Amino acid sequence: MFSSSFRKYLFICKTRIIRSFTYRFDVFGNILMQTIVMVTTAFFWKALFQDETFRNGITADNMMTYTIMSSVLSVLFTTGVERRIQESVEKGSIAIDLMRPVNVFGMFFAEDLGNLIALLFQNLLPILLLGSLLIKVPTIVSVSAIPMFAVSVILSMAINWLTAAIFGMWAFTAISMDALFQVKKHLIRLLSGSIIPIWFFPKWLAGILNALPFVYIYQLPLDIYIGSASNEEIQGRMLIQLIWVLILAALFYLFSKKSLKKVLVQGG
Amino acid sequence: MKKVHFCLAHHLRVTMYTIKMALLTIIEYPSNILGWLISNPIQFLLGFATIKFAVEQFGEINGWDYGQLAFLYGISVISHALSMIFFVQGWFMGYYVIDGAFDRFLTRPMSVLYQFFFTNINIFGFTDLIPGILVFLYGCVQTDFAFTVSNVLGIIVMLTGAVLIRGGIYILLGSTSFWTKSANDFGQFTQEIFDKTTMYPLSMYPEAMQLILTFLIPIGWVSFYPASELLGMKTLCSSGGMGVWITLAAGIATMLAAGLVFQTGLKKYESAGN
């Protein structure tokens, strides 16, 4: 029983991988764009830091690593679930999605996973390579930080996907979501430490952000990677990260039951 | 003379009608307007706030303090907003070519270029204008910018030029679809590049890149050179006190080139069959 339903999701995952390799221009375009963003951000930090050291011992060199790894992580945090829901509702094909003999969110997750596997080769590796060539080789602060980094990235991915899915559930009832998606995108971009680490923010603002889930998407794994916080601090924050995963998972479970009852089906 | 007058009045009337239509279309989805009204200001105000926080820690970046950066950032966002209002369709030209949407323009008794530019007024662009003006005014206060007649004239000339440069580049990129026949969406791509090169001082990039963005692609003239001149900042290439006028000239030249490429490309247009 378990293996047969697992195989369904695996198949969905596989079709996505195959599909991803058919759009070649998108691939090159994305790599080029992400590289430009990465390199220009690196120049921004170089110009800002000059030869100075920030109060937590961070130098321009650390910021180069931060920038490259942030771009790399952003590939892992690519999700299609919100758009997927919106498009299905817009076209009315959500009715067919719901009739399929799989859990609809399980299907969206499998699709995202398939896309992600393709992106590892199409985006993550090229960006890591280009970053190493054009900026510097982004080395981790110490070998002992690797397991912690890996665990926190997985938790980050969970927070990221759950946030996207919960957010996407709105699309079941509201058709036009473009602006809302933009709001979410910018909030995550600017308040998660993906572009500018939150240690630069005023204390009060950093305090508020530390209570929100966003910083546990980018900032925490990146802090672990460049070693900008003590071990005790990291462990404390990883605990909060785990708590956020659990809270979001609970919310996801709750909302997914409710939202499916209110699905708006249009067209015919 | 009478004929020219009639022609102008006719074009003006058509433009007014399309603006009215654009307004009516967006009123159809009120929640959408509200969404953009929140989303776009958040993007740019938060964007500037984060830069300010980072720069404040060090005092300045390449000799620019955050007041001057606000001035530059504001100009960049205002010119972006205006270009969104008038020229955003350049981003979607690929879809027009693929869908055969130019058929509609070609069969009407007006120039295709005129119709394409002026019958697609994007009212949502105004939501970008608000944060742009706010950050710009903040920068003006921080830098004690004097609103003298020549400065105000300078800003108007500069913004006109900047919008023409941006619009010209959108259309040049979009026109490639006539040849490639594919719906490449350059929107996000161009926005990222313009953001990175016009919101921050160009002087933080390597000299080779600065030279390219000064002489080859006139992006440096969108905000960096004219703003430097208005604020009295040093730049790699001196604009000799003519910065805002060079921006205008560069804008007109880019737009003329874009128009030419558009017209040439249009001859390659072969509609979409169905």
Rounded-to-integer distance, Cα A203 and Cα A61, Å: 24
Per-residue pLDDT of B91-112, as tens digits, reads: 888 788 877 778 888 888 778 8
Burial string for B89-127 (b: 16+ CB within 10 Å, else e) reads: bbbbbbebbeeeebeebeeeeeebeebbbbbbbbebbbb
Contact (CB<8Å) A200/B193: no
Rounded-to-integer distance, Cα B68 and Cα B234, Å: 13
Let me know if residue B136 belongs to a domain. yes
Residue in A closest to B35 by C-alpha: A179
Give the bridge partners for B61, in sequence order. Answer: B64
Enter the pTM of the model.
0.85
Residue A1: the pLDDT is 53
Position B83 confidence tier, pLDDT thresholds 50, 70, 90: very high
Let me know if residue B32 belongs to a domain. no
Residue in B closest to A182 by C-alpha: B39
Lowest model confidence (mean pLDDT) among A13-27, A99-113, B44-58, B224-238: A13-27
Residue B75: the pLDDT is 94
Rounded-to-integer distance, Cα A137 and Cα B183, Å: 36
> How many separate domains does chain B show?
1
Q: Minimal Cα–Cα distance from B51 to chain A, Å?
A: 8
What does the pLDDT average to over A240-250? 96
Let me know if residue B168 belongs to a domain. yes
Does residue A258 carry a pLDDT above 80? Answer: yes
Lowest model confidence (mean pLDDT) among A225-234, B116-125, B250-259: B116-125
Position B134 confidence tier, pLDDT thresholds 50, 70, 90: very high
Instruction: Name chain B contacts of A37, Cβ cutoff 8 Å.
Output: 192, 196
Q: Minimal Cα–Cα distance from B215 to chain A, Å?
A: 19
Q: Minimal Cα–Cα distance from B73 to chain A, Å?
A: 14
Let me know if residue B33 belongs to a domain. no
Give, rounded to a whole angstrom, the gap between the first and last alpha carbons of chain A: 34
Instruction: Yes or no: say if B196 and A37 are a contact pair by the CB < 8 Å rule.
Output: yes
Position A264 confidence tier, pLDDT thresholds 50, 70, 90: low
Q: What percent of chain A has pLDDT over 70?
A: 95
Nearest to A190 by CA among B62, B74, B53: B53
Instruction: Yes or no: say if A17 and A114 are a contact pair by the CB < 8 Å rule.
Output: yes
Does residue B73 carry a pLDDT above 90? Answer: yes
Per-residue pLDDT of A167-189, as tens digits, reads: 888 887 766 677 788 888 888 88
Residue A173: the pLDDT is 74
Residues in chain A: 268
Residue A76: the pLDDT is 93
- DSSP letters spanning chain B: -HHHHHHHHHHHHHHHHHHHHHHHHHHT-HHHHHHHHHHHHHHHHHHHHHHHHHHHHHS-BTTB-HHHHHHHHHHHHHHHHHHHHHHGGGGGHHHHHHHTTHHHHHTSSS-HHHHHHHS---GGGHHHHHHHHHHHHHHHHHTT----HHHHHHHHHHHHHHHHHHHHHHHHHHHHHHHH-S----HHHHHHHHHHHHSS-GGGS-HHHHHIIIIISGGGGTTHHHHHHHHT---SS--TT-HHHHHHHHHHHHHHHHHHHHHHHHHH------
Contact (CB<8Å) A196/B51: yes
Position A14 confidence tier, pLDDT thresholds 50, 70, 90: confident
Residue A146: the pLDDT is 93
List phi, psi (to 5°) of B64: -100, 125
Residue A251: the pLDDT is 95
Kindly report the average pLDDT of chain B as a whole number: 85
What does the pLDDT average to over B226-233? 87
> Which candidate in B44, B57, B68 is best for mutational testing of the A interface (most A CBs within 10 A)?
B57
Contact (CB<8Å) A37/B192: yes
Contact (CB<8Å) A37/B188: no
B177's CB contacts (< 8 A; 6+ apart) are B93, B94, B96, B97, B98, B183, B184, B265
- Name the 3-class secondary structure at A98: helix
Does residue B274 carry a pLDDT above 60? Answer: no
> Which candidate in A48, A177, A196 is best for mutational testing of the B interface (most B CBs within 10 A)?
A48
Let me know if residue B8 belongs to a domain. no
Let me know if residue B23 belongs to a domain. no
What does the pLDDT average to over A85-102? 82
Q: Minimal Cα–Cα distance from A249 to chain B, Å?
A: 26
Let me know if residue B3 belongs to a domain. no
Does residue B232 carry a pLDDT above 80? Answer: yes
Lowest model confidence (mean pLDDT) among A146-150, A210-214, B18-22, B250-254: B18-22
What does the pLDDT average to over A84-97? 82
A58 or B26: whose pLDDT is higher? A58
Let me know if residue B25 belongs to a domain. no
Please, what sign has the CA dihedral across residues A220, A225, A131, A118? negative
A138 or A55: whose pLDDT is higher? A138
Position B61 confidence tier, pLDDT thresholds 50, 70, 90: confident
**B271: region left, alpha or beta (phi > 0 left; psi from -120 to 50 alpha):** left
Nearest to B204 among A47, A179, A195 (CB): A47
Per-residue pLDDT of B31-42, as tens digits, reads: 777 778 888 888
The full set of domain ranges for chain A reads 2-262
Contact (CB<8Å) B192/A195: no
Please, what sign has the CA dihedral across residues B195, B68, A188, A74? positive
